[in-house]
Structure 1
């Protein structure tokens, strides 16, 4: 599993490293990219048009040790093939995690969008699985390949509600010990801030389950626990 970490950098909310194009060299993804207002500062997040609603900017590594950025890609929810539509406040890429979900030898990227509105339910949240390929997370035609998840997705437990913040944290690991990567998604706003964590075996909605403080038997009151605000990949 590749490493993931977070930062309070003014332009980037999350970072993740993985080999998205399968060339044997790690690549670096910057999440929830926003335009830096000062035009004299080099914006690590790419073009201004990707600032709305967040985005992901990928710097691809090469054979030079410690070298990133010889090739770059930027994508958001308006990129063809990426689930959803870019809207102000979506916070697409606010959390990132990496694993080779489809076992093709290339890492895939899980991106949270905790500010995503589901219908009229502001801040319900969503998450997107972006598949790696020969050219990385975006193919030669400028298209992404992805699967979207939210609490109104069939076979995903629960109901999308305003301020659930589903996707505020994401992680990967072999949680059911079957030798394959699974996905965990945090929703700290669930149940009026009590929170919850969703487990998707092999990133599939089939067999998905949700864990909340009440289900785990945590002592009351469980409100404002924000369970699922932080997750760690294995």
Structure 2
């Protein structure tokens, strides 16, 4: 049993798994977006050695940049730099008046740190976009490397049309959302397109 540090942290609100330390055993990432007035945290517990403990005993603790960022609201796992080790993407849709950010932490040698020290930081286009309100992973360009999809349901803040951004793996760098490899925009106002994401080979053609 794993237990949060403080009341109202919402420990366990989001979860994902991956072998983040490359030891051959899956590890657990736990998002806690209510931490410290919605600053948010994500805790990593390495597999093979987990016991009943508090979040304060996590192997790695990642902390949001500032209050109201909602860091840890969304999580996804993938090998985005194609080095054979799972990486962790963490969403903070509340960053900068809900402009939103996504942070990538490359696996292999993760240490406790502030989100600003992430290996890659992706930033939404404008306030209220809620960039990173949803995340998913898939190989969308069929090159054998995991890619990242990021939802921004508040895009066009007056109309909430929504957008989804695709960032191809092995091409990821710190940048703004408008530099994504692919941008898909919702059809109509109030669609909130991108509010939820899932990936899979739904057409059966061998490509996500």
Place the TM-score, normalised by the shorter chain, in its bin: 0.7 to 0.9
TM-superposed deviation, 1:34? 3.6
Indicate which of 135, 150, 161 corresponds to 1:194. 161
Tell me the residue number matched to 2:126: 161
105, 110, 128: which one aligns with 1:130: 105
Q: Could you give the per-residue CA deviations for residues 63-115 of structure 1, whole angstroms, max 9, x where no partner exists? A: x7x868786221113xxxxxxxx211101111111011122221101111100
Partner in structure 1 of residue 24 of structure 2: 24
Match in the other structure for 1:109: 88
- 1:55 deviates by 1.1
Q: Is the 8 A contact 1:12 1:34 kept in 2?
A: no
Distance 1:59 1:19 in 2: 10
Which residue of 34, 39, 60 corresponds with 1:73?
Answer: 60
Give structure 1 regions of 4+ aligned residues with deviation exceeding 6 angstroms: 66-70
Alpha-carbon offset, residue 188 of structure 1: 0.3
TM-score by length of 1: 0.68
- Distance in 1 separating the partners of 2:143 and 2:118: 25
Q: More strand per residue: 1 or 2?
A: 2
Q: 1:67 to 1:173 in 2, by over 3 A?
A: farther
C-alpha distance in structure 1 between counterparts of 2:41 and 2:127, whole Å: 22
Distance in 2 between residues matched to 1:89 and 1:182, nearest whole Å: 28
- Is residue 198–residue 211 contact of structure 1 (8 Å, CA) maintained in 2? yes
Give the unaligned 5+ runs of structure 1.
1-8, 36-49, 78-85, 152-159, 215-221
Contact 1:168-1:188 at 8 Å conserved across structures: yes
- Counterpart CA distance in 2 for 1:104 and 1:197 is 26
In structure 2, the CA distance between the partners of 1:226 and 1:186, relative to structure 1 (3 Å rule), is same
Distance 1:28 1:132 in 2: 13
Q: Say if 2:198 is the partner of 1:225.
A: no
Q: Does 1:96 align with 2:75?
A: yes
2:142 maps to what in 1? 177
TM-fit CA distance, 1:224: 1.4
Relative to the length of structure 2, the TM-score reads: 0.76
Q: How many residues align?
A: 179
Partner of 1:193: helix, strand, or coil? coil
Comparing 10-19 with 193-202, greater Cα deviation is found at 10-19
Tell me: CA distance 1:18–1:34, structure 2 relative to 1, closer, same or farther (3 Å). same
Using the TM superposition, give the Cα deviation of residue 223 of structure 1 relative to its aligned residue in structure 2, in angstroms: 1.4
